[in-house]
Amino acid sequence: MSWADLVVLAPVAAAVALAGLVIVVDLVRPGASRPPLVITYLGLVGIAALTWWIGMTPGSAFGGSYRVDDLATFIDLLFIFVIAITMLVAPGYLRPRGLPTAEFAALLLFAMSGAMLIAGAADLVVLFLGLELMVIPGYLLAGFHRRDVLSTEGAIKYFLLGSFSSAIFLFGLAFTWGLTGTTRIAGVAGVLADIVAGEAVLPAGLAIGLALLTTGVAFKIAAVPFHYWTPDAYQGSPTPVTGYLSVGPKIGAFVLILRLFAESLGPLAGEWLIVVYVLAAVTMTLGNLVALTQDNVKRMLAYSSIAHTGYMLVGLAAYADGQQEGLEGILFYAAAYAAMNLGAFAVIVALQRRPGVTSRLETFSGLGRRDPWLGGLMAVFLLSLTGIPPTAGFVGKAMVILAAVQGGGWLSLLAVIAVLNAAVAAFYYLRVIAYMYMREPPGEPAPISRAGALWLGLAGTAAVTVVLGLFPEPFLATVQAAAQSLATAIVP
């Protein structure tokens, strides 16, 4: 390992070191929540600055197995934002329930290091290691409230199905490596490009590998019909964990799709594009239809997150069909979804200050009058999730849908399905707003959390949701640079 390798890997190493430091501090001051939190906040600021600085000069490490480009820097900073908001929101929920804060922070930081590995992976082995480092802490976080039966049940389902999907994905990587003779992403793309250029028949083993990879990835992003773990895992998990699980692993899995399918398997886009069409249409339709029937807001947002996976797959389909705007739409949508969805879960955390408070619709009754600020913030997040201007959610949906329209053909049909689904989603999002402003609480409402860190997280997510909706152009320049780095990588 050279000094240049250490410099390129510095943000990943810093994330792991910060997680270790949090654990050590907890050993020295057991049970004290403030020192680990302060160290985590300061460490995240430092890692963000380090990531930005190293991203100014792209490079690679370990002989090209890991590289830093504009896409990796964009995803690293986005994931740091997700972890920072989660850590601002979580203490107000964890402390009243006697759940350890240091372990929570350490698990999130380890997951963040895995996402960073995925973002910069240029080798299939690094890609798989990053994926597992990101998802294994998620299993532990889902069951973090170990005295809660629903949390344990959701964690077991998440762990079992997640383990099966990882095994399926690994088998697919093994087939791909065996039939191409390399684990380098660029090397696999080169071999496949030669096969396509020579008009050779796709080997049966490679077709099986492609099917296994698609299945494994579909589990990770909770695409239909591989979504069964999502509602139980989301509903049973502690609310801050649910917010993280709905955003963090999804972003990491989509980056994995871009690195693996767009870069490595890009020459075979004609073989897997039809699968993306079907997954996108079915995922957003079923996710929205089932969300219509939910009276628990956490479970509703779980099915909603499945639907948003479908919208992002529309962007992937457009990109695979040659529309660069599809990739830009995915990246913008990922940032917008992170802000508005984390914000919605932060509102639920504020309502669940006291243990035993549920996330049923009745809990939101009269919130707009009881706490105008909290009700107004929830309304902003829900309107953004619906896709109503001028919010970030509207810009994200518009980008992926317009990219599909420009592609024409079957993509136009996919765009129509996305628009119809957005209209369906408006019903269950606006229903929550109706409860907040048009219903009276059934009894004595639960007290609302006034924790400063929680409200700072709410302010941050609301600011991003509104600013990206009103002034998307400056951020679009960053998104376009990140998208271009991937587009350059897939050129033979």
pTM of the model: 0.91
Q: DSSP per residue over 50-104, as a string? A: HHHHHHTS-EEEGGGTEEE-HHHHHHHHHHHHHHHHHHHHTHHHHGGGT--HHHH
| Lookup result for tokens 């802490």 | 137
Helix (H/G/I), strand (E/B), else coil: 254: helix
Side chain identity, residue 223: A
DSSP classification of residue 128 = H
CB atoms within 10 A of CB 481: 15
Beta bridge mates, 183: none
What Rg, from alpha-carbon coordinates, does the chain have? 22
400 and 312 Cβ atoms separated by less than 8 Å: yes
Tens of pLDDT, residue by residue, the chain (492 residues)? 566 767 788 899 999 999 999 999 988 888 777 888 899 999 999 999 999 998 888 777 777 788 888 888 999 999 999 999 999 998 888 888 888 888 999 999 999 999 999 988 888 888 889 999 999 998 888 888 877 777 788 788 888 888 888 898 898 888 888 877 888 888 887 777 777 777 656 677 777 888 888 888 888 887 877 777 777 777 778 888 888 988 888 898 888 888 888 887 777 777 778 888 888 999 999 888 988 888 888 888 888 888 898 899 998 888 887 788 888 999 999 999 999 999 999 998 888 877 666 778 788 888 888 888 888 999 999 999 998 988 999 999 999 999 999 887 788 898 999 999 989 999 989 999 998 888 877 766 666 767 778 889 999 999 999 999 999 998 998 999 888 887 654 433
Alpha-carbon distance of 132 to 162, in angstroms, equals 10
pLDDT per residue as tens digits for the range 334-365? 999 999 999 999 998 888 877 666 778 788 88
pLDDT per residue as tens digits for the range 143-189? 888 777 777 887 888 888 888 888 988 988 888 888 778 888 888 87
